[in-house]
Structure formats: structure tokens, C-alpha cells
Structure 1
Amino acid sequence: MRVLPVIPLLCGLVAVDAALPGMARAGACPPPPDHSEALTRLIGEIRAAPDEGSGQALSDQMWALWTDAPDAYAQELLDEGITRRGAYDFEGAIKAFDALVAYCPDYAEGYNQRAFINFIREDYDAALPDLERAIELSPRHVAALSGQALTFFALERMPEAALALRRALDLNPWLSERHLLPALEAGEDEL
């Protein structure tokens, strides 16, 4: 029996059999969990929410769905990236999210999180393709839509920013970014 080495991945320990020459990683990433029914229910509830506090509680439940990774390995990578982002280790976070996207190319949150890091670093051009992919994989990903709106805004692409924000607000009218819509719409008129 061959024992696979355990090497550090960022700050966690993960068995990395893909690093061994001539061997493939044991198993591929499974499909992301299907939370479509729960998301539909939450979108209905958040649209009917009576106040911002209620809306925020429902938004937190949406985040729990989006951050439910396809398997334990993917969850480790996601959690590692989020932890590193929280510690302002953006390079380490990018490495974790790069690994997550490579392992689970059909999991929207890997792209969304990597885009967020690039947004924080003000690399808006790098953030956009990841946001587009996240939205392609999860069209009702409110955070990716609002992130796309903010990225377009930073790039002074007001019509696209307003469109993305309207799409996000249609799904969650309690987003804090809702206050930007009048400015974005005014920017649309100026162009």
C-alpha cells in the first residue's frame, strides 16, 4: 500500500495526491448542492420582508446556501480563502480560491469569492470575468449580481451597473447597495 504524503495547503493540512507525478486526484468535485427550492422560498420571503432587519436575516440564510460547498475538500478551500481574506492575506485567499475554482469549476461561490478579493484589491478588470461566471452558474446569486454592479460602478460603466443592481434588487430589495441606484440611473442619463 502506498501512503500519500500530507503536505500543508495554505494553513490547513490536506492530502494532495494530485501533486504526485502520474497520479490523478482521487475523485472529481461533485456537482454543487441543489438549493434552488430553498433559494426560491427565501427570495419570496425577502421580497415580502417588512423591514431591513428581517431582510438581512433572510440574506444570511441565502449566504448559507451559497457557501455550502460540493464536498469537504471544496469546503476546506472555501473556508481557507474566507479566513485568509478576513486576515487581509489576499494572496493566500486568491490561492485558495484558485484551487477551489480549479477543483470545482461548476461551483459559483469559488468565482464569486475570487472576484471579491480582486474587487478589494481594486483589480476590477480581473473581478468581472469571475462575476460573470458566478452569475452564469447561479443566475440568482444576489451577491454576485450586486458585486457586478459595484464593479461596473468602479469602472464608471453606469448603464451596466444600474442593470446589474436592478437585477439584484429584484431578488433582494433590502440590499444595502439599493441606495446607489438613483446615482447609477443619473449616470445612465449622462452617458
Structure 2
Amino acid sequence: MRSFLALSFLMCLSVSALAQEGRPDVLPPEALPPSLDDLDAPTTEVEPPSGPAPAVTDNETPKNELDGLFTELAKVDSDEQARPLVSRIQRIWSRSGSPTVDLLMMRAAAAMQAKDYALALDLLDVTVRLAPDFPEAWNRRATVNYLREDFGRSMVDIERVLALEPRHWGAMSGLGIILRRIGCDDEALETFRQVLKIHPVSENARKAVEDMEKAAAGSPI
């Protein structure tokens, strides 16, 4: 996935640079402004799951538990079946193991909701330094950079998320959205197809794949 990301990024930089006068991190004038609603969960989830996280036993490490949950998620064919699995995965992903990091993440979430992206970015810069192996901190910062229309830095953060957790469908969806916005539809389509292999009932990914496949076939969207 990392090699696919790097290749997509390098290919699309040249395309978007030509389309956007040498500034690949800026949307073309005709594009819609970015929104949190564009991004698939848990990228959009700026509030941590409520309630205490269940205790982890010696026989049920987060890694082992995640492996089992993703195996089950890949088999679902309805949102009803997926919802408890997705919730559990997001809960595990939200565990930083540090009260300080948790507090910084909560404050960054509040800043994002207030659309104070500069403050959110400052908080998350500190967070990723304190917890460089915590994927959700990088994922949150990728979202902030996306909302600031700094697509280059957002993709760098997404690469870090996927290096730590290759099954992070929210980060992958964010990558697909960026690739689509800068005109790299082939790479975006492949990215969303990868999302559906992990999270088969992701509505955002399904809709993106349908739209792009229709466009590629010459049908009206």
C-alpha cells in the first residue's frame, strides 16, 4: 500500500501541478471546497468514542482483536452487520495509552469543530511528536491538512497512517478523495476499490467507485 501511495502521489503531482499552476496542494477554481463530510469514518470522527474502553486480556491483545474484527468485517454484506465491528475497531484505534495525548486529541477535535484549523494543527503537531506510533494522531492531522487544502502534507500524513495501520479505511478514503480532487481518477478508483476490500459496505467508497466507473464508461453520473 505504501508503494502504491508513493507512486500515486508522484504521478499525480505532475498532473495537478500543470492544472493548478505549479501548486499541487491548492484546489482548482471550479472544485468544491473541502469538507469534513467528504471523508469516510473514522477520518470524520472528531469525537473519541464515549465511555471507557473495555479491558484487554492477555489472550486478546489489540492486534489479535483487530485481526479478528477485520476478518469479520470483510465478510459483511449490510451496514447493520458492519456497524458493531466498525465501532469496535474505531474504539481500539482511539486508544493512545496516554492521558496527555488523549487530552491533546480532544482539544484538537474541538478546534476542528470550531474550524480553527491553525490551532488544531498546532495541537496535532505536538501530538505526533509525543506519540509517533499512534495512527489516529497522524490521521487527524491528515484531515486538518486536507481541510486547509494542503494536499501534499495530508498525503504525507496518510502515508504514515497506512505504514502503522494498512487497513485504515478512513485514511485510504482520504487518499482517494485527494487523488480524485486533483484529477487522478484512475488512482482514486483503485484506492476506493481497496477500501471496499477492507470495509465492503462503506457507502462513501461504494458511491465513489460507482461514479467513477460510470464516468470511465462514458455514462452520465
TM above 0.5: yes
1:156 pairs with 2:170? no
Deviations along 1:60-102, whole A, 9 cap, x unmatched? 2221111111311111111221122122221111111111111
Distance in 1, Cα, partners of 2:152 & 2:130: 23
Distance in 2, Cα, partners of 1:68 & 1:83: 18
Other-structure match for 1:70 = 97
Unaligned runs of 5+ in 1: 1-33
Matching residue within 172, 180, 196 for 1:169: 196
**Structure 1 letter corresponding to 2:183:** E
Deviation at 1:187, TM superposition (A): 6.0
Deviation at 1:126, TM superposition (A): 2.1
Scaled by the length of structure 2, the TM-score of the pair is 0.64
8 Å Cα contact 2:77/2:200 also seen in 1: no
Other-structure match for 2:209 = 181
| Aligned ranges 1:1-191 → 2 under 5 Å | 35-177=62-204, 178-185=206-213
Deviation at 1:185, TM superposition (A): 4.0
Distance in 2, Cα, partners of 1:70 & 1:159: 39
8 Å Cα contact 2:77/2:201 also seen in 1: no
% identical equivalent positions: 24
Deviation at 1:186, TM superposition (A): 5.4
Distance 1:187 1:97, change over 3 A: farther
Distance in 2, Cα, partners of 1:151 & 1:61: 27
Distance in 1, Cα, partners of 2:215 & 2:152: 20
Distance 1:76 1:148, change over 3 A: same
CA RMSD of aligned residues (A): 2.0
Distance in 1, Cα, partners of 2:92 & 2:79: 20
Distance in 1, Cα, partners of 2:92 & 2:137: 13
SS of structure 2 residue aligned to 1:100? helix
Distance in 1, Cα, partners of 2:181 & 2:102: 30
Q: Which has the larger radius of gyration?
A: 1
Deviation at 1:45, TM superposition (A): 2.3
Residues 53-62 or 152-161, more deviating: 53-62
Deviation at 1:173, TM superposition (A): 0.8
Scaled by the length of structure 1, the TM-score of the pair is 0.73
Other-structure match for 2:9 = none
8 Å Cα contact 1:56/1:174 also seen in 2: no
Deviation at 1:48, TM superposition (A): 2.8
